[in-house]
Chains A and B, each alone.
Chain A
Amino acid sequence: MIVNKLEIPRIDESLYQFQLENGLNVYLYPKPEMEKTFAMFVTKYGSIDQKFIPLDEQEWTSVPDGIAHFLEHKMFEKEDGDVFQQFSERGASANAFTSFTQTAYLFSSTSEEKGNVETLLNFVQDPYFTEETVEREKGIIEQEIRMYDDEADWRLFFGLIGALYKEHPVRIDIAGTVDSIHSITHHDLYKCYETFYHPSNMQLFVIGNFDLEEMKQLVESNQNSKSFIEPGEIKRDFGKEDNEVFKKEEVIEMPVTTAKCMVGVKEKIDQLNPEQLLKNELVRDLVLDLYFSKSGTYYEKLYQEGLMIDSLRLELIMEDSFGFTAIGASTTKPEQFAKEVKQMLLSLKNETINEKAFQRAKKKKYGELIREFNDLEETASNFVSYFQQGVDYRDAFSVLENVTIEDINEALNEWISEERISTCMVVPEKE
């Protein structure tokens, strides 16, 4: 087995990477100056993976909405009790999350990190689902869904995605609906588990205060002691999605005091090519910074016109099969906000960026990139997410150093156009 030393010269640090025989990719990033060790064990499997060919089968299968998230909840329960307990006994805190494209299991600990990594590997690789335990979980997840139903920001965000996308399963709530989760069975869970939790579809990232050699041996011998079927390619179907948005506008009435509005730009599928991903993301980020951050000209204009309360919410998401940019705010004038922001987005093409402003925006990004390495969780999650998309996150430094104004102008031509913009509003209910 070859262990690759990956240097990050700009911050004077290194991490180590290797792939095990069963296909698992492992990253070890020792940081002896920290108290803590953080680890995440991640599968490239999220809420969008709803239609697929199960491993060792030939036919397409569809599963209920919210199943990846349901599965995440159920991984913690075993025949002999709750896995949280095992982490707690060592003073560690464990958690998990499900996103559109990932399910991640994580812990942070400040002692006995080897035992915790062992537990992490073992519990995620040992499913235990029964009819009874699946039924019991439904009440808990139903409360989780209802909690999100009351949150205006959550509804706004998913309302916008639902307007941007017609077929792609990104439009479905990550947790599913109260109805869809009630139809989930333990058979469904096993089917998804067998397909998506194969080590060749997973990554382990450990960062913090631990001994490199000992950790490497532990992971290796733990994985070698288990047997897995031969890895195969997982076939996923996200439906056929047009470049145009599904709906130009979505309005959600809710018992809120202040309205909210969000404007989104849907990506053309050819902008999501992994080779260009870091660069495409960076230029969008720089444009958002130059115009819509607190130092941006459009931000100032929206503030002067009284169209937003407090500040803007900016989102930028680019994945293999979908991507979008969104700009939102709480506002007393949601229609005007929508109109104005849409107009601004469309006029970006005609703006010229001067060299000084561009260099300053680059400086800002550079400082932010360095700051991200303060945070173990963020560092781990960046490396893993980009790896899943075939990108080495360390390249973020060189991509930033090499980006030019021409790159931005080029991107603007491809990025924003009228038929790929939707708006979503959350407004107070009519009396």
Chain B
Amino acid sequence: MEAIHDRYTDLETYHLHTIETKKFKTATIALKFTRPLAREQVTERALLPFILQKGTEKYPSERELRLQLDELYGAKFTINSTKKGENHIITFLLDIANDKFIKDEDQLMQKGLDFLHEVANNPKLIDGVFDQDIVSKEKETLENKIKSIRDEKMQYANMRLIDEMCKEEPFGIHAHGYLDDLEKVTPKTLFESYQKMLHEDRLDVFVVGDIDATHVENNVKQLFTFDREPKVDIVRSEKSVQVTPNHVTEAQKIQQGKLHLGYRTNVTYQDEEYPALQVFNGIFGGFPHSKLFMNVREKHSLAYYAASRFESNKGLLFVFSGIAPEKYEQAKSIIIEQQEEMKKGKITKDELVQTQKAIIHQLKETIDQPRGMVEWYFQQVIGNKSWTSQEMMEAINKVTLEDVIKVANKVQLDTVYFLTAEEGGNDSE
């Protein structure tokens, strides 16, 4: 274990985070552009990562851009878009070998920064807008991606659950965009969205690795001199109260049913009870020792997987399980019962202690990975609360049974979604 040196610098128009660590053989650089989720912009923002990887002024085709990455000793580069709470985030991520392990090379970090700057700042343009041909091809790519969510049953069920649950809230907006809106995208409108991203979004830059923070900071400052005037910042969600649970069932030609439940936790990252929420989720369904796994899978053999996961910024919790279609009622009541028991305090000291250890282990595992490190720091930005991993671990250890019971009573079931087999879709041979 080593001490981690992190440094945060506010550079007027963006925020720089440098994290010095000797754990990794590579350095990771991330640019995160954030703005509030909005239906009007989300489809174009979902399309941008595809377009921006297809070429720049200096590397005018995808192939040339990738050849440059090969030249940088196989630097790994992606751009993606996601949501975190009710924010939409476009992330540029570059992972590049530390040149101290490479003969005759000592400028890799600088070249990596140059590359990122080029991709973010100088996309390939024709007559001042994106290339029509690339835009139409990539619209097709995104169209296919959106359509094929239906083929990934777990992902589809999860999306449908959130659709039903957050109909009236920004969180319900699909981060991957909408087919209806995609039709209307033109090279010009897309370019305008890109410019908004570049100039108006909140921007956070992260550099993680065996680096010299001062040196990196100077380089970044010199290079990243965008003409920026940020107009938006992180949004933090309103908590919404739920009345009676909503039940939705849908049928497809499938072998295995997907039973997904959505809850409102009424606790988010800044709240005092956040550590207790983590522990609640851990006892409920976060681990193989959790109540869901032990009861749905081990005791009743109903599923191969049964687990829960919580969302820190909006205050949601989801349960996932894959069951035989005819076991719906039984599985549902077992899942619901697990929370009811926790409300009443049916939690053993062992469950509590095991879960605390497991959460601390998970946290340490996260910061043993370069990307995990970036996400740990970025969550603090989104969640508007900064603490060290040490402080988080202490807080987890201080959580008492009473704290967990209190949280268990705040968590409310909102929606039960079931993706089941069409009639005759599941003939057992």
Contacts and interface: CB of A to CB of B under 8 A. Distances in A.
B70 A295 contact: yes
B140 A149 contact: no
A374 B25 contact: yes
A35 interface: yes
A366 B73 contact: yes
Interface in A352-411: 360-361, 363-368, 370-371, 373-376
A99 interface: no
A185 interface: no
A82 B287 CA distance: 14
Which 5 residue pairs across A and B have the least CB separation, nearest first?
A91-B357, A367-B73, A295-B66, A364-B74, A139-B301
A85 B67 CA distance: 49
A105 interface: no
A371 B27 CA distance: 10
B354 to A, nearest CB: 5
Contacts of A146: 255-256, 322, 324
B350 interface: yes
B23 A34 contact: yes
Contact of A34 (B1, B303, B354): B1
The winner among B151, B302, B358 for most chain A CB atoms within 10 A is: B151
Interface in A328-368: 330, 332, 360-361, 363-368
Given A209-B1, A256-B151, A374-B25, A365 B145 contact: no
Contact of B368 (A34, A258, A296, A330): A34
Given A93-B362, A147-B304, A370-B25, 20 more contacts: A11-B25, A33-B22, A84-B288, A91-B354, A91-B357, A91-B358, A110-B361, A139-B302, A143-B324, A146-B324, A147-B322, A299-B63, A300-B61, A303-B62, A363-B70, A363-B71, A364-B69, A364-B74, A366-B73, A373-B25
A225 interface: no
B296 to A, nearest CB: 10
B357 A306 contact: no
B386 interface: no
A88 B287 contact: yes
Nearest to A332: B144
A248 interface: no
Contacts of B148: 256-258, 309, 330
B360 interface: yes
Contact of A136 (B95, B301, B305, B324): B301
B149 to A, nearest CB: 9
A90 interface: yes
Interface of B: 1-2, 21-26, 61-63, 66-67, 69-76, 95-98, 101-102, 137, 140-141, 144-145, 147-148, 150-153, 252-256, 287-289, 297-298, 301-305, 322-324, 350, 353-354, 356-358, 360-362, 364-365, 367-370, 428-429
29 contacts: A35-B368, A88-B358, A91-B360, A91-B361, A108-B365, A137-B301, A146-B322, A146-B324, A178-B428, A178-B429, A255-B254, A256-B151, A257-B148, A258-B147, A289-B70, A294-B62, A294-B66, A295-B63, A295-B66, A296-B63, A300-B62, A303-B137, A309-B141, A364-B70, A366-B97, A367-B74, A368-B74, A371-B74, A371-B97
Interface of A: 10-12, 32-36, 82, 84-85, 88-94, 108-111, 136-141, 143-144, 146-147, 149-152, 178-179, 209, 255-258, 289, 293-297, 299-300, 303, 306, 309-310, 330, 332, 360-361, 363-368, 370-371, 373-376, 429
A310 B74 contact: no
Nearest to B367: A35
Nearest to A89: B354
